[in-house]
Amino acid sequence: MMAILPLLKGLLQPAVDYALPPRCPGCGQIVAEDFAFCLSCWSGMEFLSEPCCARCGLPFPHDMGEGAECGACLADPPPWDSARAVLAYGDVARTVALRLKYGRRIGLARLIARQMLRHVGAEEALIVPVPLHRWRLWHRGFNQSALIADHLGRLTGWPVDKRALLRVKRTQPLRGMNPAQRAKAVRGAFALAQGHGVKGRRVLLIDDVHTSGATAAACVRALKRGGAGTVRLLCWARVLPDAAD
Q: Could you tell me the CA-to-CA distances from 64 to 43, 57, 58, 113 in Å, in that order?
A: 27, 13, 12, 29
Task: Determine how β-strand 190-192 pairs with β-strand 165-167.
Answer: antiparallel
| CA separation for the pair 159, 80 (Å, rounded) | 20
Q: Could you tell me the CA-to-CA distances from 44 to 38, 41, 142 in Å, in that order?
A: 10, 5, 29
Which H or E run contains 139? helix 134-140
Task: Determine how β-strand 202-210 pairs with β-strand 230-238.
Answer: parallel
My answer on whether 179 and 220 are in the same domain is yes
| CA separation for the pair 155, 152 (Å, rounded) | 5
My answer on whether 53 and 32 are in the same domain is no
If one counts the domains in the chain, the total is 2
Please give the pLDDT value at position 4. 55
Confidence band, pLDDT 50/70/90 cuts, at residue 216: very high
| CA separation for the pair 136, 140 (Å, rounded) | 6
Question: Do the beta carbons of residue 126 and residue 192 sit within 8 Å?
Answer: no
Confidence band, pLDDT 50/70/90 cuts, at residue 225: very high
My answer on whether 27 and 59 are in the same domain is no
Rounded average pLDDT over 144-164 = 97
Where is pLDDT greater, at 8 or 86? 86
My answer on whether 127 and 109 are in the same domain is yes
My answer on whether 72 and 91 are in the same domain is yes
Q: Could you tell me the CA-to-CA distances from 129 to 54, 184, 186, 200 in Å, in that order?
A: 22, 21, 16, 18
Which residues make beta-bridge pairs with 129? 206
My answer on whether 78 and 130 are in the same domain is yes
My answer on whether 6 and 68 are in the same domain is no
Rounded average pLDDT over 211-236 = 96
My answer on whether 25 and 83 are in the same domain is no
My answer on whether 14 and 59 are in the same domain is no
My answer on whether 167 and 205 are in the same domain is yes
Read off the pTM: 0.88
My answer on whether 103 and 30 are in the same domain is no
Q: What share of the chain is helix, strand, coil (3-state, %, to 5)?
A: 40, 15, 45
Task: Determine how β-strand 202-210 pairs with β-strand 126-129.
Answer: parallel
Please give the pLDDT value at position 132. 93
Q: Which domain holds residue 13?
A: 1-43
Rounded average pLDDT over 186-190 = 90
Q: What secondary structure does DSSP assign to 184-202, as a single string?
A: HHTTT-EEEPTT---TT-E
Rounded average pLDDT over 69-97 = 96
Domain of 70: which CATH number? 3.40.50.2020
Please give the pLDDT value at position 243. 55
